[in-house]
Amino acid sequence: MAANVFFVIIPNQRKMVDAMSAGQEPDVSLGAMGAQRSLHNNYFTLPVLFIMISNHFSMSTYGHEWNWAILAALSLIGAGARHYFNLKHQGEHKVWILPAAALAMICLAFVSKPVPIQPSLSAEESGRAPLVYSDIAPIIEKHCVSCHAEPPNNPLWPMPTPPKGLNLTIPSAVKAQAANIMAQAVHSKVMPLANQTNMTDDERTKLGQWIVDGALLDAESTPTP
């Protein structure tokens, strides 16, 4: 959108004004090209607003494995809604467009809804030995501490302090955040951010299993007689 403004719309306008100031006939095709790019930007208004807000509420958009397809569908729906208003400003009332966009939105929410990973019965319920911290430590090490450490050391996302002050190199901090971790990395795939390290469903299930078993640190496990 910015490139349309800075490389086409403004330069073309300037060329036309320059031609007029020099007493020449301005090239109207330059104006038409600018108008076409403005129209493209106009159709992108709603998708861009969505992209700006969505990174704070990632849920099933960028945490989803089909994130690009969801974004493409949302952009089409957004452009459709914009089309309704464009026509309305020209005096045409196509009333069916907005309900169709709303229906498409509902269908999209339905097909993209996350399929939560459900850890099975707790250790107590199933009579097996509970998982302890050292069982899941390699998962945290591999997928979380590049960002959640003091200081973070993620080559793709340089940051001065761990996000939300959450330092997951400390086992007791992981335990204290168990409910949050369940929501962010097991029930949804929001973490690790953009699944940069390709965390698998098996790893998520194991992490969830540790939490269901009581998020035990190694020292807290009672040795089975």
Q: Which residues bind to ligand HEC, rule: CB under 6 A?
A: 56, 143-144, 146-148, 154, 157, 163-164, 166, 177, 180-181, 184-185, 191-193, 196, 199
Give the burial class of 190: count Cβ atoms within 10 A of its Cβ; 0-12 exposed, 13-18 middle, 19 or more buried: buried
| Least Å from the CB of residue 180 to ligand HEC | 4
The CA radius of gyration of the chain, in Å to the nearest whole number, is: 26
| Least Å from the CB of residue 133 to ligand HEC | 13
| Residue closer to ligand HEC (CB basis): 57 or 110 | 57
Closest to 193 in 3D by CA, of 153, 139, 156:
156
Closest to 220 in 3D by CA, of 138, 144, 129:
129
Give the burial class of 192: count Cβ atoms within 10 A of its Cβ; 0-12 exposed, 13-18 middle, 19 or more buried: buried
Phi and psi (nearest 5°) for 216? -80, 135
| Least Å from the CB of residue 113 to ligand HEC | 20
| Residue closer to ligand HEC (CB basis): 46 or 181 | 181
| Residue closer to ligand HEC (CB basis): 34 or 208 | 208
CA 74 to chain CA centroid, Å, is 13
| Residue closer to ligand HEC (CB basis): 5 or 137 | 137
| Least Å from the CB of residue 155 to ligand HEC | 10
**d(C-alpha 49, C-alpha 53), whole Å:** 6
| Residue closer to ligand HEC (CB basis): 112 or 154 | 154
| Least Å from the CB of residue 189 to ligand HEC | 9
Supply the DSSP symbol for 132: B
Question: Of all residues in the chain, what percent are helix, strand and coil, respectively (each to 5)?
Answer: 60, 0, 40
| Least Å from the CB of residue 107 to ligand HEC | 27
| Residue closer to ligand HEC (CB basis): 2 or 115 | 115
**d(C-alpha 186, C-alpha 24), whole Å:** 67
| Least Å from the CB of residue 126 to ligand HEC | 24
| Residue closer to ligand HEC (CB basis): 46 or 193 | 193
Closest to 198 in 3D by CA, of 188, 208, 186, 189:
189
